[in-house]
Amino acid sequence: MPETKPLPKLESLIDQRNAVKNLTSVIRRDTIPHAFLFTGNEGAGKRTAAITFVMACNCDENRIVSSFSEASIDKVTGSCGKCRSCRKILSGNHPDVIFIKPSGTFIKISQIRELCAQLAVKPYEKGYRAVIISDAGTMNKEAGNALLKILEEPPERTIIILTAFQMSDLLPTIVSRCRHVRFSPVSKEKISSFLTKKHGVDVGRANVIASMAEGSFTRALEMNKGNWLHVRRRLIQEMEELQSGRILPCLMFAERLAGKKELVQYSLEIIKNWFRDLIVYKYSPEKVLNQDLVERVEAASEKVEVKTLMSKIRAIQKAQKAIDANANLRLTLENFAMEIVSLRQ
């Protein structure tokens, strides 16, 4: 069997010092809670941390080291990546590691019921059984209540890790039964360095993407791969052209956005950041995200009042929430475009 490349140890998770400290402390003390809630931006490392943590808890090497002496326990902070247990987890073939993610838009009650059936059976191997539920904030009410029953009477030797953007995305009763671990947005400097060193991105381009990625490695990679700097310029140009106030261009703009459904939320985020920059420039020009367009930002910022820009941002946020709630995409975007255009002063 070819050697499996191990995941990084917990300490190597980038810009997550507090999260790493929290997780390594429970491993060292062997006081592992039955449930965790990892919150933070998409792409901050929550899923990687969850898998790495589960590997560390089940690593055969860790168990051997821990059995030697009390003094050696402080060295147990990660997995070896080479033992039988680690290789199974890395390959996604460990029978006691269960992954759950949204089926479509939501995590459905049928998925949690299936989980209940799986947890009713004893773990297949020694060590800890683990359940990693990604985007747990997408659980509908029925699924959330079903999961709550599991958390109220947790199965023996089972760790449940939920990942979400923020605590408020989940039922308070679920949050109260989990140990909370917050993942910080990754710094612009770290993302830029990552893009240049690992993916060969030009420094100037990497810096711009890092500014717009909002602390997310995932978003930065998608922006680089999808040529988002070109998309951004086009969207900004269209926003400026829409200020003519004519209805037909608004409807055509909405139609173009709706035609690429998978890119809509990113497009709206780019537009929102543009209006944000027009506000920020008035007070702290050095904090503008679109630094390579700062002269354009300056010119546009002088033409619009803060009150109007705030209203535009609220219109974008309203559209984003409606889309997340499965509202009619075309109608939502048409209403958004018309509202943006009506706010011209």
112 shares its domain with 168: yes
Q: How far is CA 253 from CA 217, 287, 310, 345, in A?
A: 29, 29, 21, 21
pLDDT at residue number 271: 93
52 shares its domain with 171: yes
pLDDT at residue number 104: 82
In a domain, 215, yes or no: no
Query: Helices 217-225 and 203-212, interaxial angle, to 10°?
Result: 130
244 shares its domain with 104: no
HSE-CB for 28 with a 13 A CA cutoff: 13
248 shares its domain with 127: no
91 shares its domain with 144: yes
Query: Helices 228-242 and 247-258, interaxial angle, to 10°?
Result: 160
In a domain, 177, yes or no: yes
Which residues, in sequence order, are CB contacts of 306 under 8 Å at separation 6+? 279, 282
How large is the C-alpha radius of gyration of the chain?
Answer: 23
Residue 68: give the domain boundaries.
10-182
The CATH number given to whatever domain includes residue 116 is 3.40.50.300
Give yes or no for a contact between 335 and 304, defined as CB atoms under 8 angstroms apart.
Answer: no
Start-to-end Cα distance in the chain: 66
157 shares its domain with 280: no
pLDDT at residue number 71: 33
pLDDT at residue number 5: 45
SS3 182: strand
Q: How far is it, in rounded angstroms, from Cα 259 to Cα 39?
A: 32
pLDDT at residue number 11: 56
Name 179's bridge partners: 36
Domain count, the chain: 2
**Nearest partner of 271 among 318, 329, 224, 305, judged by Cα:** 318
In a domain, 205, yes or no: no
Residue at a domain's end among 182, 211, 238: 182
Residue at a domain's end among 182, 201, 218: 182
Q: How far is it, in rounded angstroms, from Cα 260 to Cα 218?
A: 19
160 shares its domain with 263: no
In a domain, 203, yes or no: no
In a domain, 210, yes or no: no
Residue at a domain's end among 182, 198, 215: 182
Consecutive H or E run containing 38: strand 35-39
278 shares its domain with 163: no
171 shares its domain with 319: no
Average pLDDT for consecutive 10-residue bins of the chain (345 residues)? 46 78 82 92 88 87 46 47 84 91 90 94 88 94 94 92 93 95 90 90 87 84 82 88 78 88 86 94 91 91 92 93 89 90 67
In a domain, 1, yes or no: no
pLDDT at residue number 3: 43
In a domain, 33, yes or no: yes
83 shares its domain with 156: yes
pLDDT at residue number 63: 57
0.95 cut: is pTM over it? no
In a domain, 288, yes or no: yes
312 shares its domain with 178: no
75 shares its domain with 150: yes
The sign of the dihedral angle between the CA atoms of 216, 218, 219, 225 is positive
